[in-house]
Structures are given as C-alpha cells and as structure tokens.
Amino acid sequence: MEFKKKSKVSEEIPTASMPDIVFMLLLFFMVTTVFRSSSGLPVDLPTAKKLEKLDAKKNVTSIWASGQDEISIDDKLVQIRDISKIMYQKRVENNRLIVSLKFDKTVNMGVVSDIQQQLREVDALKVNYAAKFGD
C-alpha cells in the first residue's frame, strides 16, 4: 500500500476581513471613549465686564472653593493647610504652571486670603481669577 504525500498546508493568515475588523474596532473606541473634563465643585462664579481667556490649558491647574468652604484642586478635595504641599509638587513638575482660582460668589474672604497665602509660600504667583461674563 502506497501513501500519497499530502499537499502542503498554507501557513498564511487570511487577511481579507482585516479592514472590516479594524474599522469596527475604531468605531467601537470612538463611540465608547469618554473624555475627562474637570467639573470641580458646584461654584457660582462672580461676573465680570471684561474677560481674558487662557491660551494653553496644559499648564493650568484649578483650585475651586465653594460657598460651604470646600476646596478642590484638580477634582480632589483638600484642606487649606495641604495646598502649599500640593502646589509645590505641581510647580516642581511644571515651572510654567498657572493657577486658576474659581471661587463661589458667597465664599468667605478669609478662605480666599488663606488660599492666596498658601500659594505665596510656594511662589505660585501666576494666578488667574475665573469669572463669567456679565454686568
């Protein structure tokens, strides 16, 4: 009895459906991706007659202060005494840092003064006061 040699098995991977799979993955990731946006604390910003927009957001860190004396730095609740440590670390990482202060209209002026003092201690003097446009 004689055995016939089997034909050679193809070692190639079929790529005919590859563009369809890539397109479906791309569509899936586009639909399911959620971009992070910093919402901060619920703050009713004061109004201003003239506003100036910050150009680059990558060098900006935000400090939020609500009317209930809650303070948040980049969406993390902090105590006033911890602001200088956090901002010092941020200034070491980025020496072009701009601090955007977003205070509620009803925030206690003592809290504002304490935050400013904490920023002065670490030489974070590039400060922006956020407001909304209005009369």
34 part of a folded domain = no
Q: How many domains does the chain have?
A: 1
Strand positions, DSSP E, 6-134: 47-48, 60-65, 71-73, 76-78, 98-103, 127-129, 132-133
55 part of a folded domain = yes
pLDDT, tens digit (0-9, with 9 covering 90-100), for 72-131: 998 889 999 999 999 999 999 998 899 999 999 889 899 999 999 999 999 998 999 888
82 part of a folded domain = yes
90 part of a folded domain = yes
Share of the chain above pLDDT 70, in %: 94
108 part of a folded domain = yes
**CATH code for position 51:** 3.30.420.270
27 part of a folded domain = no
Enclosing domain of residue 114: 47-133
